[in-house]
Amino acid sequence: MKSPISSQDNFQWEKYLEETGSLSAPSEYFRQSKIPPANDFKVGMKLEAHDPRNTTSVCIATVVGVTGARLRLRLDGSDNQNDFWRLVDSPDIQPVGTCEKEGDLLQPPLGKDKQF
């Protein structure tokens, strides 16, 4: 019998649970929805995002990668050393113009000294 763990074929969760005598965690233990949110973002799109190194600051970010319901973001003015991932429905991201509409200021990424 092939083990689902070491097989080069598709991993089969149910077989893994059976072979290891394990139980899966109940779905209510997870924050994510069973059905992932739609991801209409494309590489190159702009949005406003909380700086993960300074969560009180909101900065302009560019989508540099998309995987499923996750976005790889880069704060404008920073390099790929500080890229970070967010789910498309994260409260840490918002459309461009949200800060202006709410009377808030956009900030440069941590380490940059010029306000936008």
DSSP 86-110: EETT-TTEE-TTHHHHHT----PPT
Give per-residue pLDDT as tens, 82-95.
899 999 999 999 99
State the total domains in the chain: 2
The pLDDT score that the predictor gives to residue 38 is: 87
Statement to judge: residues 3 and 53 lie in one domain: no
Find out whether 73 and 59 touch, Cβ atoms under 8 Å. no
List helix spans (H) across the chain: 13-20, 98-102
Give the mean pLDDT of the chain: 86
How far is it, in rounded angstroms, from Cα 16 to Cα 8?
Answer: 14
10 Å Cβ neighbour count for 35? 7
Statement to judge: residues 4 and 21 lie in one domain: yes
How many residues does this entry show for the chain? 116
Domain extent at residue 74: 32-116
The pLDDT score that the predictor gives to residue 5 is: 52
Give per-residue pLDDT as tens, 52-100.
998 889 999 999 999 999 999 999 989 899 899 999 999 999 999 999 9
Query: Which residues, including other chains, have CB under 8 Å from residue 41's CB and lie 6 or more apart?
Result: 47, 63, 66, 71, 88
Statement to judge: residues 16 and 53 lie in one domain: no
